[in-house]
Amino acid sequence: MEQDSEATLQLWTRTTPGGPGEKGTLALAAAFEKATGQKVEVTAIFDDFETKLQQRAAQRDLPDIVMNDVTQLGAMHGQGLLREIDLDKIEHSDQLVAQGLDSGKSVDGKQYGLPYSAQATALLIRKDWRQKLKLDIPRDWDDFTAMAEAFTAKDPDGDGKKNTYGLAAPLSTKRGYASWYFSNFLWAAGGDFITEAGSGTYKPAMSTKESVKAVQWFRDLGCEDKAIQPGAVTMDTPPTNETFESGRTGMFAVGPYLLPRFDEVLGKDKYEVVPMPKGPKDATVLAEGGTVYLMAGSENRAGQDAFADFAVSAEGQRTGMRGETGFTVQLPVNKTVDISEVRPDPRWQTYAEAYRSSGRYAPSIPNWSAVRQTTAETVNALMADCDLDTRGELRDLDKKLAALLEEQGIAAS
């Protein structure tokens, strides 16, 4: 396509129109325009984002840039919507956190996205409950289990009723929540959903001894200790959030995006943010975030590269972090940026350290959503029916995963 380096860049962002995400993107685009003189037109879309993108693809009129979730990389690449990114044209790409840069690679090892924002999991604890029961911050799974049991059985809120639970957990099958949440514990135990087998191929891993051990431990929290909130298997995040802020649950493994909400509703003094306790292997946690995608067919590839470079630069990252709620960057992905310079709240530093030292992204396979959904259905079933055989269900799950990997053309031979 004939190029025009002065053409206005069309940028789509998957966020609610008029909301804080759109405001943050507009601020980032304005800073980029001021720094480069390049015009950017921002469009915020939340409902039916992927459908609308497909419609524009059919019309051969894709936006120049899309800011969307990292887990969409495999699907978007598979549909031919993305152009490969030449890192030699992204001046600040060498400043990106390693796992962040790798998250933008497809199974063929080529770069199709650049992270601009990250999030990772840390553990929220009702500080007042912990102090009342004279418990230390949990360092490993034994400590974690002991705290979950104590918060369930020892009346930490002092109302004389047995109405509290150790752990808040969204374990619905909706959008694969059960799998999404459980990944923090699965990986810390050395287990996995699928594992790389070389040359861009994968094999199922839910029936390995490490995965079985992680599932059984987590299942015991719910089935034996009764330490997970009732109804967890029907809950996605909104009702689970409410159990923590209303004083029904005492621990919650979650990202930093809920801090402003819990500060306001629960009170900043009532809870604390600490690193996830070490599992049988380590403290690996789920890393996620937003990615800049450069769309195929653009008439301004130089402008695309320039915007991507600005978004990951120190200036772009600091711009994206500013504001109480209207920010596009949760945790910086640029190694030269100290989050405390923009957000002096040490809780954000805890999250930033968790991301850089322990964060792990889901693999950028063609359809990760299918893997997440299928594993969520089994995890959900095991938590809902305590009489099911753990090993048998996980063996069956691996058969389903093998079929999914085969369908996607990435199954190990």
Is it the case that residue 136 has pLDDT exceeding 70? yes
Tell me the Cα Rg of the chain. Answer: 22
User: Is pLDDT above 80 for 325?
Assistant: no
Question: What rounded mean pLDDT belongs to the chain?
Answer: 97
Q: Using 50, 70 and 90 to split pLDDT, how confident is the model at 1?
A: confident
Write down the residue that tokens 């799974």 correspond to: 141
Strands 65-69 and 9-14 come out as parallel
> Among residues of the chain, what percentage have pLDDT more than 70?
99
- Position 208 pLDDT exceeds 80: yes
Helices and strands (H, E) in the chain, number of each type: 16, 12
Q: What pLDDT is stored for residue 266 in this prediction?
A: 96
The domain segmentation of the chain, as residue ranges, is 9-119+288-360, 122-285+365-407
pLDDT in tens, 49-95: 999 999 999 999 999 999 999 999 999 999 999 999 999 999 999 99
SS3 at position 2 = coil
Assigned fold of 9-119+288-360 = D-Maltodextrin-Binding Protein; domain 2 (3.40.190)
> For 221-246, what is each residue's pLDDT tens digit?
999 999 999 999 999 999 999 999 99
More confident residue, 168 or 327: 168
Domain 122-285+365-407: give its CATH code: 3.40.190.10
Q: Label residue 18 left, alpha or beta by phi (over 0 means left) and psi (-120 to 50 means alpha).
A: left
CA distance 82 to 111: 10
Question: What pLDDT is attached to residue 327?
Answer: 83
Angle, helices 314-321 vs 20-36, to 10°: value is 150
pLDDT at residue 326 tops 70: no
- pLDDT tens track for 178-195: 999 999 999 999 999 999
